[in-house]
Amino acid sequence: MSETKPTTFIIFGASGDLTARKLIPALFNSYCKQRLPENFNIVGFARRPWDDAELRQVLKEGIQELAPDTYNEEQWAPFAQKISYAKGDLTTLEDFENLKDHLEKIENGSGNRLYYLAVAPRFFVPIVENLGAADMVDQNGGWRRVVVEKPFGHDLASAQALNKAIQAVFEEDQIYRIDHYLGKETAQNILYFRFANTIFEPVWNRNYVDNVQITVTESVDVGHRAGYYEEAGVVRDMFQNHLMQLLSLVAMEPPASFEANAVRNEKAKLFHAIRPLPLDQTVRAQYEGYLQTEEVAHGSQTPTYAAMELFIDNWRWQGVPFYLRSGKALTSKNTEIIVEFKQPPHLMFDDIKDEDFSANSLSMCIQPDEGIHLKLEAKIPDSHKTQPVEMEFHYRSSFKGNHLPDAYERLLLDAVRGDASLFTRADGIEAAWRLMDPVIYGWENDPYGPPMASYKHGSWGPEEAHALLNRSGRVWRHACSHPEE
């Protein structure tokens, strides 16, 4: 990246898990690929009584342990020279003034700054306010951008309050709200798949599509994150952000360009077209054993799994159900989107009964085994019957040698470039909360809402989620498009 001014990454929460696990490996990888601005610096801000050498040592140990494939000794030494430490408290204005002096020394006149909030959400507002009060947002000396991690609010009201507080200090085009699912190569490929090919978009609508399924399963349980998870639950943790973003990529109208606001306008339009969800189109569940986890409240009603059927009231999708599901402690880690097409209008083959025949479907495997499968019916040789077969594209074979970068690598570079197309905008975040709030609060308060179902560790989820589809004669699909049970 050629940029004469120095660019500084300021990481609030430099001693935290996200910095060690994601940010430093992403920055280091970009450095090794020579994609960072030529003149860059990294400043870690935290409360620990460290100096530059100690921060460098901690980050080195972190990358060696957490991202060993990324680490290499020769490149680390010059990279580490770019890292410095500023000790401070996130809520103390004076410490921000000291940070400002530290930055001005590094910049030696002027420079660009990316403020990264890798901290617990309760610190988002104090940091932003202190940046404003310390006069660190003014863009005369170079651009100033702020990257905000999730969770972005706890519900609609808190997300609106957070947007307001950040927008009181930064302009919307300086704010980069991260959803790391948008940084995944395969999620980005959804738009390329739809809009860089001619043959799919004409059938991408209610005339040809029977239903769409978005599955994000995880095999891990809440583990040591129960403290956070108890407050969040699966809808806040996964649906309001990641699943809604995947849905928007699959269902939005074509933007006129790949420019950030063109893309985000279409997403916002889509979210506004989603019909509010009645509770009887939702399923909530907890895995067996969740209640025995340390830090989980006695009798907790926090869902670790949810499934939903939703409809989009627009011309393209009228009447097409979209099924979303996600949960912890399930059979495997798997994120995929399945577009199931309608049956042909007339079956002329006498030997094939309707029930032997499966409709075409397209599976976009976001992770793992990244790729795309198109399921077709083919005649079985020497028989009059058909069998489903698959046309497959896999990243690992089609792009041999092209390692799939971590989402943070792409997102950090985009923020430096000033490209916000893979970041969420205030209205998109709020629209997603507007849909999820009634589900979350309905589950908590409506006596007629769905009861908490339960499922076994390592299963595909609760029976009730299957029943949600079975009532319209459908079943959940997965990569090879077999019914699951």
Residues that bind ligand BG6 (CB under 6 A): 150, 180, 218, 237
Q: From residue 241, how far is each of 149, 177, 201, 266 by CA, in Å? A: 11, 11, 25, 16
Dump strand ranges (E) for 15-58. Answer: 40-46
Would you say 179 or 340 has its CB closer to ligand BG6? 179
Tokens of 307: 């499934």
Would you say 22 or 425 has its CB closer to ligand BG6? 22
Minimal distance, residue 67 CB to ligand BG6, in Å: 14
In this structure, what are the phi and psi dihedrals at residue 125, rounded to the nearest 5 degrees?
Answer: -70, -50
Would you say 131 or 162 has its CB closer to ligand BG6? 162
Q: From residue 218, how far is each of 28, 304, 462 by CA, in Å? A: 28, 10, 14
Minimal distance, residue 17 CB to ligand BG6, in Å: 12
Would you say 82 or 150 has its CB closer to ligand BG6? 150
Tokens of 25: 């490996």
Minimal distance, residue 367 CB to ligand BG6, in Å: 6
Q: Which residue is nearest to ligand BG6 (CB)?
A: 237
Tokens of 180: 């790391």
Would you say 169 or 247 has its CB closer to ligand BG6? 247
Instruction: Give, for 363, the enclosing helix (H) or strand (E).
Output: strand 361-367
Residues 6+ away with beta carbon under 8 Å from 385: 351, 352, 356, 379
Peptide bond into 368 cis (omega under 30): yes
Would you say 237 or 430 has its CB closer to ligand BG6? 237
In angstroms, rounded to a whole number, what is the distance separating the alpha carbons of residues 5 and 423? Answer: 24
Task: Classify residue 457 as exposed, middle or buried by CB count within 10 Å of its CB (0-12, 13-18, 19+).
Answer: middle
As a 3-state breakdown, the chain gives helix, strand, coil percent values, each rounded to 5, of 40, 20, 40
Tokens of 372: 């795309």
Minimal distance, residue 13 CB to ligand BG6, in Å: 16
- Check if 272 is active-site: no
Would you say 86 or 243 has its CB closer to ligand BG6? 243
Minimal distance, residue 237 CB to ligand BG6, in Å: 5
Angle at 231 between CA 229 and CA 233, to 5 degrees: 55
Minimal distance, residue 232 CB to ligand BG6, in Å: 7
Of 154, 242, 373, 478, the catalytic one is: 242
Give DSSP secondary structure letters for 377-409. Answer: EEEPTTSS-EEEEEEEEEHHHHTTT-PPPPHHH
Minimal distance, residue 151 CB to ligand BG6, in Å: 8
In this structure, what are the phi and psi dihedrals at residue 224, rounded to the nearest 5 degrees?
Answer: -85, 5
| CA 105 to chain CA centroid, nearest Å | 36
Minimal distance, residue 218 CB to ligand BG6, in Å: 5
In angstroms, rounded to a whole number, what is the distance separating the alpha carbons of residues 345 and 350? Answer: 15
Task: Classify residue 359 as exposed, middle or buried by CB count within 10 Å of its CB (0-12, 13-18, 19+).
Answer: middle
Would you say 224 or 384 has its CB closer to ligand BG6? 224
Would you say 88 or 183 has its CB closer to ligand BG6? 183
Q: Checking phi first, is residue 142 left (phi over 0); if not, alpha (psi -120 to 50) or beta?
A: left
Whether the Cβ atoms of residue 308 and residue 454 lie closer than 8 Å to each other: no
Minimal distance, residue 407 CB to ligand BG6, in Å: 7
Instruction: Give, for 255, the enclosing helix (H) or strand (E).
Output: none
Q: From residue 219, how far is each of 423, 466, 484 by CA, in Å? A: 27, 19, 16
Tokens of 282: 């939702």
**Would you name the residues annotated as active-site residues?**
242
